[in-house]
Amino acid sequence: MKLLGLSCGRKMGNSEIMLKEALMAAEALGAEVEIIRLIDLDIKPCLHCLQCPWHPKGPKGCIHKDDAPFLWDKIMDCDGLIISSPVYSLTPPALLLNVRDRILGPKADIAFIDEYKKAGYKDVRFNRQAFVDERIFKPRPGGLISIGGAPYSDWVTLAIPVLHTLTFSLQVEIVDQIQLIGIGAPGAVLLNEEALEKAKRLGRNVAKTMGKTRNEMHYLGEEKGICPSCHLNLLVIGEKFGVMCPICGIKGTLKIENGEISYFFSEEEKKKSRLTIEGKRIHFYEILDVFRNFEKRMNEVPEKLKKYESYKPFVVPPSKGKK
């Protein structure tokens, strides 16, 4: 079975070394492995076309002619996915977010695409043909690796959480995730045997989960985290001791007893996690309701827009100026 690794840092950087360690461990279990270096790809940023031709025509319908269809096909063909990335300013680097915004997100949302299929390959939001790639429904396990240079975890707080935004729309089931800190020099991870062992464990966990059904895929990582869905510790505190996981969207309660903090998430809330197909399906109908609510007044927009179309205090960058 095919295991794809996405290397999101520099060539032979610490994140790529960790990725290779994971893939070698997976290969030893019989996985067929490939690595794609994102810095080798030409992927232009999404222009946020509301009537994006990708949706009815697929990746090759995009107005940009670059490596995006190639990467899409590689992800669709794989049976498992490992993403390894350095940390830049608390998060993964922008080239990874560019990939997310260009070929993943709503374009790759398994619940959205399932709804299009059930509607007769039709995007009911815009009443038009919808592109449905049947490969998206393949169950895939995944692993996430993040490498931070700072010695403390407060400098990597958004790294793994942001990596989840690349995988949840595809319904990649994350079975292991690793956040390293204190790897601040080129090649320094090679001096950390514990880190390399974690990479091997992650690679094996992904490899041995490939080919299973989604119901058979379970989180196998060492760090279980507070959230029972994404297994991270990032929470938003709401009113009256309510808490919400900003990655999964599930809500729970916080209790403080005898100086100890505990959290509770109901089984019903867990089912609504955006890491589940049902959670994304709920979001599909939320978005559909928003479209329908605005649809009643969209005829007013052209006239109201004129005020802003005529206002143009733009600064022309040198690359766009007259020669």
**Which regions of the chain carry the CATH code 3.40.50.360?**
1-223
> 248 falls in which pLDDT band (50, 70, 90)?
very high
CA dist list (Å): 78 to 55, 95, 204, 278: 22, 21, 16, 23
Partners of 14 in the β-ladder: none
> 240 falls in which pLDDT band (50, 70, 90)?
low
Report whether pLDDT(18) > 90.
yes
pLDDT of res. 260:
83
Averaged over 48-76, what is the pLDDT?
87
10 Å CB burial of residue 163 (0-12, 13-18, 19+) is buried
- For the chain, the average pLDDT equals 93
Report whether pLDDT(323) > 60.
no
Query: In this predicted structure, which of 80-89, 158-167, 172-181, 284-293 has the lowest mean pLDDT?
Result: 284-293
CB 173 within 8 A of CB 82: no
Averaged over 242-266, what is the pLDDT?
90
CATH topology for the 1-223 domain: Rossmann fold (3.40.50)
Averaged over 140-146, what is the pLDDT?
99
pLDDT of res. 241:
65
pLDDT of res. 128:
83
Amino acid letter, 246: P
CB 81 within 8 A of CB 4: yes
What is the Cα–Cα distance from 2 to 4, expressed in whole angstroms? 6
Averaged over 138-166, what is the pLDDT?
97
What is the Cα–Cα distance from 100 to 104, expressed in whole angstroms? 5
pLDDT of res. 50:
64
- 15 alpha-carbon distance from chain centroid: 17
| Position with higher pLDDT, 59 vs 125 | 59
pLDDT of 259-268, one tens digit each?
A: 888 889 999 9
pLDDT of 275-305, one tens digit each?
A: 999 999 999 999 999 989 998 899 999 999 9
> 238 falls in which pLDDT band (50, 70, 90)?
confident
pLDDT of res. 48:
81
Averaged over 231-256, what is the pLDDT?
89
Report whether pLDDT(195) > 60.
yes
Please report, rounded to a whole number, the percentage of residues in the chain having pLDDT higher than 90.
81
Tell me if residue 142 falls in helix, strand or coil: strand
Report whether pLDDT(29) > 90.
yes
Averaged over 232-257, what is the pLDDT?
88
